[in-house]
Amino acid sequence: MGNIAYVSGEFIELDDAKVSIQDRGFQFGDSIYEVIKLYDGKLFKADEHFSRLLNSAEMIRLNLEYNLEDLKKIALEVVDKNTDNQSGSLYIQVTRGIAPRNHSFDFDLKSTVIMYLLPPQPFPSELWESGVNAVTLPDTRWSYCNIKTTNLLPNILANQAAKEEGAFEGVFISDDNIVIEGTSSNIFIVKDGRVITHPINKKLLSGITREIVLELAEENFDVEEKIFTLEELYNADEVFITSTTKEVLAVVEIDDKVINQAKVGKITKELHNLYREYKQDLNNF
């Protein structure tokens, strides 16, 4: 067998997998998703990802007929059926289902559930040594960024704008100059030995990597979840971003302003090492 996907009760070759053009996920972006990293066939933090998926479903009032254990069982079957590709990521998408096009929805719709494996996307290891640059961008997204919805067009456009400015990542800034998060990452600053990041609310997504790094930071440093301004970002001793693929990645330049003499900071390095050790411990899966 080749790349096997799961589509609403059926395991099928990925190239043959299809959903209806009347699916609300296609027509309205009326859907949610998760991406779970695979290490040697093991799903990293599956419970946390599926819990967030279920929470997203509840927040958009999507009728998901599966519980956490059901979803995990399907996910493991997908992994088992793809023995030649077990080191990438598992992609999960749940839509509200198929219905004639209408903005309002029926609560009894049967949801569409899709799972398939994404190939490995190696991250350039030299970037963890050198750090990356970023630019700040106005936050033009909607008011429920804490829901992991597939409506990612604002993030895509912002990320593209950052790339066209020659930056690795874009950082969303609110109208009142508060630093929110990256286009596909959470952002932290270090000031006077204290690790600081924006508290979780509707303005940003609580990343799984963010939560692990916070846990590790709390065991080793002073930590505070509080809002901070663009000026505080520019004047930070260290800046780093977190995500599944980026892990803990230093930002050494923002809007052409140099951070920490363009060097990866000591606390950033230590947190990245701690995160790497955490991943290698099978008890943390």
Which residues have a catalytic role annotated?
Answer: 148
Give the chain as a DSSP string.
--SEEEETTEEEEGGG----TTBHHHHH--EEEEEEEEETTEETTHHHHHHHHHHHHHHTT------HHHHHHHHHHHHHT-TT--SSEEEEEEE--B-SS-SS--TTPPPEEEEEEEPP----THHHHH-EEEEEEE--S-S-TTS-BS--HHHHHHHHHHHHTT-SEEEEE-TTSBEEEESSSEEEEEETTEEEEPPPSTTS---HHHHHHHHHHHHHSEEEE---BHHHHHT-SEEEEEETTTEEEEEEEETTEESGGGS--HHHHHHHHHHHHHHH-GGG-
Cα separation, 266 vs 13, in Å, equals 47
**Residue whose entry in the numeric block shows the structure tokens 């997204």:** 141
d(CA 135, CA 169): 7
The answer to whether 159 and 170 are in contact (CB under 8 A) is yes
What is the C-alpha to C-alpha distance for residues 23 and 189, in angstroms, rounded to an integer? 41
